[in-house]
Amino acid sequence: MAARLSGHELSDLCLGKPALRSLSVSDTVADALAALKRIDDSYVSVWNCHHSFVRKQPQKQDGHTKCTCIGKVCMLDIICFLSKPQNLSSPAAALHSPVSALLPDNSALVRHLHPTASLVEAIDVMYEGVQNLVIPIQNQFESNNLHNNNSTYCWLTQEDVFRYLLNSIGVFSPTPGNPINTLGVIDTQNLFAVCYDDPASSALDLLALSLVYQSSVAIVDPHGKFVGEISPFMLNSCDESVVPAMATLSAGDLTAYVDCGGPPEDLVQLVKERVGEHSLSELLGDETGLSSWSSFSSSCSSDDEVCSGKNWKLGGYSGRVARRAEAIVCYRWSSLVAVMIQALAHRVSYVWVVEEDGTLTGIVTFQGMLKVFRDHLK
C-alpha cells in the first residue's frame, strides 16, 4: 500500500488549487506589501520575468525567456526588513527598495516540479528544505496569471503534503501511533527563543531564521519555562504598522499588542511615547495613530485597484483570519499522528515540545516529520 501511495502524481494534490499570483523581480517592497493586502494567502510568489499582477500592463519581455519562480515573500519578511535600523529612520525610502531585498540569498525554498512527478519525489525535495513546489496547471479561467507559453502555476506546500498523507495514515501503521521521542523528530538544535522581557527587536534575526525552518520564536521565563511565542503566523496576520511596536516593546508586550483582541490602550500609548523618545516620529502618522506607511504603499503601484488596501490602524491587523496568540504544545510522549493533527488543525508547520512543568525542550516541524514517512515510502 505504501509503495502504491508513493507513486501518486502531484497532479492529484493540485486538484482545485488556485493559480499563483505573481510579482516580478522588478517590483518593489511596496508592491509586495500591496499584493499581500489584497490576497488571502500569506505568501506571494516572486518571478524572474516581468509578469506581475499588481501592474495592469506588464513590461515587454523576450517571449523565449523562461519564467521561473525564484522565491516567495510574506508580511513578516516586510516587517523584518522595515525594522532594520537603517530603514526605521526612512521607511518611505525602504518601501521603494526592490522586492529582491526581501528574498534570502538562495532560492532553495521554492522549486519547480512537473505535475507527473511522484509524491515521493516531492517528499524528497521537501526533506532537503524546499517549502513550496511550483507546479504548472491547466486553468482556462486565469488569463490574468499567464506566464510565457500560456502557462499558469499553483504551488504545493508541506501542509498540503501532510494533509494528503493524513488521509492515508493507516498505510503507515503502527508508526504514526508511536511517541515522537522514539522517532527522532524532536529538534533540540534549531530552537529559537527569547526571554519575556527581552526587546522584541532582538527576535528579528530569529524570526528570519524561523521562516527558513518553518518554525517560530519561543518566549521563555528566566527558568526556561515556555510562556508564549512570536510566530510568523501571528505576524503574517498583521501589516507594516506593527513595526513601531516591534521597535519599542518587549517580546512579551508585543504578543499582547498583536493579539487579535486588539492592542491594549496602555501599550498603544507606550509605543507612541517610545517612538518619540527614539526620534522615530516618521514611524507614526497623525494623531489617530494611523501609520503613514500604509497610505504610501497604497499609492505606490500603477494599479489603483490593487493598492487601495484597507484602513490599517496602529496595531496592524489584516483582513486575513487571525487567532489569539496561543502557542501549540505537545509532550515527548505524544504520538506522531496527534502532533500532525495539532499542526494541521491550527494551520502551523510546527508544534513546541514541553515537559510537564512547562520547560521548553524542543520543537517538531513538518520537515522533521517528513523523514518518518519518507523512510516508509522508499
CA–CA separation, 248 vs 271, rounded Å? 6
Task: Express each pLDDT in 72-97 by its tens digit.
Answer: 999 999 999 999 988 988 888 999 99
Res 354: pLDDT: 97
**301 pLDDT above the threshold of 90:** no
Cell of 226: 515556555
What 343-350 contacts at long range (C-beta under 8 Å, 24+ apart), as own/partner pairs, is 343/162, 344/159, 344/162, 344/163, 344/166, 347/159, 347/233, 348/216, 348/231, 348/233, 349/158, 349/159, 349/214, 349/215, 350/214, 350/215, 350/216
Res 310: pLDDT: 33
Distance of CA 100 to the CA centre of its chain: 16
**229 pLDDT above the threshold of 50:** yes
Confidence of residue 376 (pLDDT cuts 50, 70, 90): confident
Amino acid type, 169: I
Res 139: pLDDT: 60
Residue (of 239, 274, 207) closest to 42 by Cα position:
239
**60 pLDDT above the threshold of 70:** no
Mean pLDDT is lowest, of 109-123, 163-177, 257-271, for 257-271
Mean pLDDT is lowest, of 115-119, 122-126, 372-376, for 372-376
Confidence of residue 3 (pLDDT cuts 50, 70, 90): low
Mean pLDDT of 27-35: 95
Amino acid type, 368: G
**313 pLDDT above the threshold of 50:** no
Confidence of residue 292 (pLDDT cuts 50, 70, 90): very low
Residue (of 149, 148, 147, 151) closest to 138 by Cα position:
151
Top-ranked range on mean pLDDT: pick from 1-15, 196-210, 259-273 = 196-210
Mean pLDDT is lowest, of 200-204, 297-301, 345-349, for 297-301
Res 320: pLDDT: 41
